[in-house]
Amino acid sequence: MQPLEGIRVLSVTVYLAGPFCAMNLARLGAEVIRVEIPGKGDPVRGNGPFARDGGWHDEPQNSNDLSTRFLKRAQGVKSVTLDLKNPQGKQMFLDLAKSCDVVLENLAPGSLRRIGLGYNEISQVNPGIVYASISGYGQTGPYSEKPAHDPQIQGMSGLMDINGDADGPPTRVGFYIGDLVTPLFACYSILAALREKDRTGKGQYLDVSMMDTLVSLMFMENLEENIEYGQPLRTGNISRNGPTGLYHANDGDVSLTVTSDDQWARLARALDAPQFLEDPRFESYVSRTTNVEEARQAIQSIIGEFTLVEAMDRLESHDVPCAQVRTAKQVMNDQHFWDRGSLLPLRHAGLAEPVKGVASGFPVIFSGGALPEMAGAPTLGMHNKEIFSKLLGLDESDLAELQEDGVI
């Protein structure tokens, strides 16, 4: 099954946010043509380690050696090389855009517009184009020109201020949350715009901002109420909602959620702690939240006496929401995720067998059929002949001349 079969995307993307959006569109069956700088490509191509011969190597030895980061971020896309600052390269891009449904880019704001390849120029040759720009702070506003990477966005958005221990410094989320969540908003906005195009025949421009994304997610929580009532925003592994949080068994950690009176009663039974139900400090959600430290200490004093297995057995047998806190290595070796396809072998388009490493899969299962198997990430310019001959009608002599002139 390929839900986006027939959709063609022209992608001018680098690093993580743009490529992750492009890769997910490819996962759904779109043909994604990734335009890269001749001889250079995405800067991530140069970030080691490099995959080769079943292992990892610090330095590339040949054109088949691809960065493991690039392999993870460019599954399923096709690579062409094109110098967009060259007049001939610019015209080739415009000609490619005529046969595409989507242009996707995440360069610094205005980069493509300044060389005559912005939405206005593309929409003149293809009025139905959906043109999506992903950036740190957005295309407008006082912050739009600021250099932006995920750590700065986490800081500017306020996310770091609510992450970390109460008595510690603001803390970055441990993965590139802005770079990975923002492209998901971009993906479904692109699909919505394509649906609108089906109805009206008109394309549109999508301005997708990492900072807007993180701010919108943060204020799904009642932060303004916490600020108004002087409640701490940075609580580490302790939840603001009563004694929900992290607890330490004598050989591991348990993540525990207790928000309702029913869950509190089940917890009391699981831990053989009838005193939890007799203590007026813990009789309701409000009182447990007011006396959260006392509630936490009461829970910890009991869980700390158990092994992790014992604690989990007790909690799970009473349907208390809980989970063992696991390492990334434990998750990577859990067959559950391989069976469901959320983890996949890491593939390289130039090699028949997977290389060492783990790739992320698509975390949704469709009842209508399996999504297509993803091709491995391409070597630089791997699809020049296929794309330029199919869409622009160029033959081998044309391509040789363009390559000699540095256009491709």
Which residues are the active-site residues?
179
Q: What is the per-residue DSSP string for 102-162?
A: EEEE-SSTTHHHHTT-SHHHHHHH-TT-EEEEEESS-SSSTTTTS---HHHHHHHHTTGGG
Task: Give the H or E element holding residue 249.
Answer: strand 245-249
User: In this structure, what token pair is assigned to residue 232?
Assistant: 């701490």
Cis bond upstream, residue 49 (ω within 30): yes
For 82-98, give one letter per residue: b (16+ CB within 10 A) or e: bbbebeebbebbbebbe
Rounded distance between C-alpha atoms, residue 178 and residue 20, angstroms:
12
Rounded distance between C-alpha atoms, residue 382 and residue 38, angstroms:
11
Yes or no: say if 2 and 26 are a contact pair by the CB < 8 Å rule.
no
User: In this structure, what token pair is assigned to residue 400?
Assistant: 């040789």
Count of residues making up the chain? 408
Name, in order, each residue with C-beta under 8 angstroms of 13's C-beta and a sequence gap of 6 or more: 19, 21, 22, 34, 42, 104, 105, 106, 134
